[in-house]
Every structure is written in C-alpha cells, then in structure tokens.
C-alpha cells in the first residue's frame, strides 16, 4: 500500500440512540468497520481493503468537499431527542482534522443532512465496499 494514497489516520463514526450506526477506522493499514443498530454494536468487525485507486478517489472527494476546512463542531438547536452523532478524525498530508456533530452538518443550517456530508458518507461507504 502506497503511503501517499491512504491517510495516516482515519476514523469515522455516525449513529445515535436509534437507527443504524457505522464505525470505520484505519488500524495498521487495515480498514475495519462495523455496523450497529439501536445503539448496540453487532460485535462483528469486518475488514475492507481499498485499492490505491479507491484511496485516491476518496482523497479527491475529501479535497473537493473541503473536508479539512470544516468547522471543529456542528451542533444543532434541534438536538433534543433522537440525536444523530458523528465524528471524523482524518490525518492526511500532515494535516490532522478532527470534526464532530450532533444533528448538524457542514453546509446545512438545520438538522437536515447536507449534500457535502451525504457525499462524504457515500465516499466512506464506497471505501468499505458498501456504496449505494
């Protein structure tokens, strides 16, 4: 695996007290992920092996969406009940990005999931072979 293709560190979580959750993390060059529902983890950790081209495509999407320029925290005034939390840690090109949110997303004024965030999540799901 080319060190220039994959990030140095990568961790992404999205989920809440209800509905499905996804947790993806890069460990020793291996991309591990697990799905959960209703706030509990399945305990089944799966492994994905993105190609260098897939990492390059992910990197292009990160750059195009300006992920590394996202605010550190997105919190909505609508964070009362069924909250969707998300967290991203990405270390790439000597830049460390740590971003999180609760019912709020980059490029959205309310609790609606923004187009950039949807595109980013789709890119993550593509990396683990779960692209829509």
Enter the CATH code of domain 9-127. Answer: 3.30.1560.10
d(Cα 24, Cα 26) in Å, to the nearest integer? 7
The distance of Cα 3 from the centroid of its chain, to the nearest Å, equals 20
pLDDT tens string 111-130: 789 999 999 999 999 999 98
pLDDT of residue 62: 96
Q: H-helix or E-strand containing 89?
A: strand 84-92
Q: H-helix or E-strand containing 119?
A: helix 115-127
Rounded to a whole number of angstroms, the distance between the first and last alpha carbons of the chain is 26
pLDDT tens string 73-106: 998 876 566 788 999 999 998 899 999 999 899 9
Domain positions in the chain: 9-127
Q: Given a cut of 50, is residue 1 above it in pLDDT? A: no
Using alpha carbons only, give the angle 90, 84, 50 rounded to the nearest 5 degrees. Answer: 35
| Contact criterion met (CB below 8 Å) for 26 and 47 | no
pLDDT tens string 25-68: 999 888 999 988 765 666 788 999 999 999 999 999 999 999 99
Going by pLDDT thresholds of 50, 70 and 90, the confidence category of residue 131 is low
């Amino acid at each position: 695996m080319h060190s220039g293709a994959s990030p140095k560190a990568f961790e992404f979580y999205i989920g809440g007290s209800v509905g499905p959750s996804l947790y993806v993390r890069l460990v020793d060059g291996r991309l591990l992920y697990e799905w959960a529902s209703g706030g509990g983890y399945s305990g089944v950790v799966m492994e994905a092996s993105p190609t260098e081209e897939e990492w390059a495509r992910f990197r292009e999407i990160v750059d195009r969406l300006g992920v590394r320029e996202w605010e550190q925290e997105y919190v909505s005034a609508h964070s009362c009940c069924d909250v969707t939390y998300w967290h991203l840690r990405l270390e790439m090109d000597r830049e460390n990005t740590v971003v999180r949110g609760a019912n709020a997303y980059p490029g959205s004024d309310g609790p609606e999931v923004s187009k950039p965030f949807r595109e980013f999540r789709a890119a993550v799901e593509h990396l683990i072979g779960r692209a829509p």
